[in-house]
Amino acid sequence: MEAEEKHMQKITSLVMVLLSLITFNLGAAEVSSTSDRTYAELAGEIEQILKRTRTPGAAVAVFEPDGSVWRYTTGFKNIEHREMVDRHTVFRVGSVSKMLVGLAVMKLVSEKKLSLGDRVADLAPEVAFENPWKDQYPIRLVHLLNHTTGWDAPHPPELVSQNKEPLTITETLALHPHSRTSRWVPGSRSAYNNSGPLVAAYIVEKITGERYEDYIESRFFQPLAMEDSGYYFDDHFRSNAATLYRGGQALPYWHLPNRAAGGMHSSLDDMVRLVRFMQHPQKAVETKVLDSDSIRAMQQPVGSHAAAAGMEIGWGTGLTSFHHKGLIYYGHEGALPGVRALVAYTPQGEQGHVVLTNGESPAANQIHKVLAEYEATKQISDKANPARSTGKPDAGLGGFYQLVSPNAERWRIAHKLIPWKIDATEGGIRVTPLIGGKPRILSATTNGKYLQEDTGRVALVAAEDPLLGSVLHYGPMTLKKTGTFTALLPLLLVTTWLVTTILGLLFLLIWLPSKLLGRNMAVADVRLRIWSVLPVSGIFLAVTGAVMVSRGPQPFALAATKTIPSLMVFIGPIVFLLTAFWALRIGYLNRQQATGGFWRNHAILLMGLNAALACFLTGYGIVGLRLWA
């Protein structure tokens, strides 16, 4: 534990205590102007979600248009000791921490100590990063916060501390700097990234001369009376923290290296105070926290090619946006092993909600949908001028598109397999992912932009990418038009291989027992049938390793070092590649001697598909993938 680790005392306000008198089952709720029956129904839906998803506990707040707040806490903060969640239970909040990074930077901008246009290389030349376009397109401070640096997602070694003590930001930035290499021109595309906000927090430290966590404590937590919030494993946290659960297993505390961007903890009451400040910063004027203009500026896309083209939906400066039935929220989501959190608020209408859970399940997202549906019935419209949606769609936009801004370079193969389709409709366009998503209808404007129908906000714009030429920015994604054959070939290859492989494995279960029981079969037939399915063992090995990593109690630790699961992910594709090409040789040598017919042709086809898939995986870096590198 660091010697400077702060020890916070919990001071409970009498007013806050009086607001928690009404209970539902295992939970406690604060009832405001809406009828008890309405809140009881919400509480019942929350309980059903937690039961269905096997989530131990949750703390929820709903902000009403009349300024009141309904709080609901339920379940266990610690199952073993049967301790219940309450309004002061401390949850880790994951990437909700990035809201504070954005606030800190904007405070320094408002004080003229920083500018969002400052070059990062000038502010922090000692921080290692690579930008091939640095002379013409330098990385600027705003790019760190709106996820447009082009840097790769942090590699597993950056997410695991090898120390029992928390690392400083400087030590964390030195862990694995080569992930901070721009893959495209900074500002030209956005891809969610955890390293940018960490570098921004380092700049806050450098400009202020204070430890980042101390700066947040003195400039935000203390003025806003966020007495349960912090970043360290101190006495207050130990006494009040919710135990995190993954797959029903309690997780030990670990020091997250990227503490500034994902390691904050807080309580429901503190998150309520933060949201109220974000909605009404002018009410905190006596504490000089941050002015309204700076808060509102954080909510809008800025400093990117998409923003310059008129985008109104996407990443702001430390914030993102959500929408439901015309209601526009700002805030952030957070996720860590055993943690799901969400903060969503409207700058107008007093509405919003906070969801904190101590289980790794979709409960937080499902509760968010329930609350957004409830709030949509009371909304004060924030919809932009509907008169803008009067244009005609550009018929030339129709066709297939590939996402060209993946968050993690090593998983860009997944985006290659899922193209997007755009079709022109009367008065707009229909945007559809080919797999796993519903069509989204956008209305055309007279100036060539496309609006979300329920919010009236610009969600799709055309722009020129310095490397790719004409592209579309759709929310936080960048899409590049491609031909039908190019778009569908990878998916067709994988689908055909999968069907052919399953057929071969099912046939193996029929003929192999017969062969073992003494049935006479030509040697060439046996060789073709065995070698056509043998490469699948490599895929099975890799998939098993990946599942072990993802479902392990500490997935980052399993991926960041040479463990059995990470070695399986590394070795499996190599086995697949080698056996696939060796199988081609076996097939060539035995093609004449093998008995003709369907199964001979099936084996030869599968051998060819295995080799083609091996080349595809190699081209996208899956063969020889070292998670620990």
Residue 160: what pLDDT? 83
For helices 598-619 and 484-516, what crossing angle results, to 10°?
130
Q: Where does the pLDDT of residue 597 fall: very low under 50, low under 70, confident under 90, or very high at 90 and above?
A: confident
β-pairing, 83-84 vs 91-92, is unpaired
Question: In this model, does residue 14 exceed pLDDT 60?
Answer: no
Give phi and psi for 155, each to the nearest 5.
Answer: -80, 155
What span, in angstroms and rounded, lies between the C-alpha atoms of 368 and 49? 11
246 pairs with which residues across the strands?
249
Question: In this model, does residue 319 exceed pLDDT 50?
Answer: yes
Cα four-point dihedral sign 155, 156, 157, 158: positive
Residue 343 is which amino acid? V
Assess if residue 487 is contained within a domain.
Answer: no
Assess if residue 332 is contained within a domain.
Answer: yes
List the end-to-end C-alpha distance of the chain, in Å, as a whole number: 28
Q: Structurally, how many domains does the chain consist of?
A: 4
- pLDDT tens string 532-544: 999 999 999 999 9
227 and 200 assigned to the same domain: yes
Q: Where does the pLDDT of residue 20 fall: very low under 50, low under 70, confident under 90, or very high at 90 and above?
A: very low
What are the structure tokens assigned to 566, written together?
């990470």
Residue 516: what pLDDT? 86
- pLDDT tens string 368-399: 999 999 998 876 655 555 556 578 899 899 99
CB 105 within 8 A of CB 200: yes
Domain boundary among 354, 382, 410: 382
What span, in angstroms and rounded, lies between the C-alpha atoms of 571 and 567? 6
Residue 162: what pLDDT? 65
Assess if residue 86 is contained within a domain.
Answer: yes
Question: In this model, does residue 47 exceed pLDDT 70?
Answer: yes
Alpha helices in 222-362 (DSSP H): 235-240, 259-262, 268-279, 292-298, 305-308
88 and 112 assigned to the same domain: no
Residue 592: what pLDDT? 85
Domain boundary among 482, 511, 541: 482
Number of neighbouring beta carbons within 10 Å of residue 174: 12
Assess if residue 172 is contained within a domain.
Answer: yes
Residue 480's SS3 state is: strand
Average pLDDT of the chain to the nearest whole number: 90
What span, in angstroms and rounded, lies between the C-alpha atoms of 97 and 335? 11
- pLDDT tens string 130-157: 999 999 999 999 999 999 999 999 998 8
86 and 166 assigned to the same domain: no
Residue 386: what pLDDT? 52
85 and 103 assigned to the same domain: no
CB 290 within 8 A of CB 280: no
Assess if residue 304 is contained within a domain.
Answer: no
135 and 226 assigned to the same domain: yes
**Range with lowest mean pLDDT among 179-193, 239-253, 592-606:** 592-606
119 and 55 assigned to the same domain: no
Residue 383: what pLDDT? 55
The distance from CA 376 to its chain's CA centroid, rounded to whole angstroms, is 25
Q: Which helix (H) or strand (E) holds 382?
A: none
- pLDDT tens string 324-355: 988 999 999 999 999 999 999 998 778 999 99
331 and 418 assigned to the same domain: no
Residue 285: what pLDDT? 63
| Length of the chain measured in residues | 629
CATH code, 366: 3.40.710.10
Domain boundary among 367, 382, 397: 382
Assess if residue 337 is contained within a domain.
Answer: yes
CB 178 within 8 A of CB 225: no
Give phi and psi for 71, each to the nearest 5.
Answer: -115, 140
- Averaged pLDDT for residues 419-423: 96
C-alpha separations of 132 from 184, 400, 420 in Å: 9, 30, 29
375 and 391 assigned to the same domain: no
Assess if residue 254 is contained within a domain.
Answer: no
166 and 139 assigned to the same domain: yes
Question: In this model, does residue 58 exceed pLDDT 70?
Answer: yes
Question: In this model, does residue 590 exceed pLDDT 80?
Answer: yes
The distance from CA 32 to its chain's CA centroid, rounded to whole angstroms, is 34
Q: Where does the pLDDT of residue 303 fall: very low under 50, low under 70, confident under 90, or very high at 90 and above?
A: very high
376 and 395 assigned to the same domain: no
127 and 221 assigned to the same domain: yes
For helices 195-208 and 98-110, what crossing angle results, to 10°?
40
Q: Where does the pLDDT of residue 18 fall: very low under 50, low under 70, confident under 90, or very high at 90 and above?
A: very low
Question: In this model, does residue 52 exceed pLDDT 50?
Answer: yes
What span, in angstroms and rounded, lies between the C-alpha atoms of 601 and 436? 33
What span, in angstroms and rounded, lies between the C-alpha atoms of 598 and 585? 20
Supply the range of the domain harboring residue 209: 95-232
Residue 60 is which amino acid? V
Assess if residue 291 is contained within a domain.
Answer: no
Tell me which DSSP letter residue 552 carries.
S
- pLDDT tens string 198-208: 999 999 999 99
CB 345 within 8 A of CB 331: yes
468 pairs with which residues across the strands?
none
100 and 218 assigned to the same domain: yes
Cα four-point dihedral sign 377, 382, 384, 387: positive
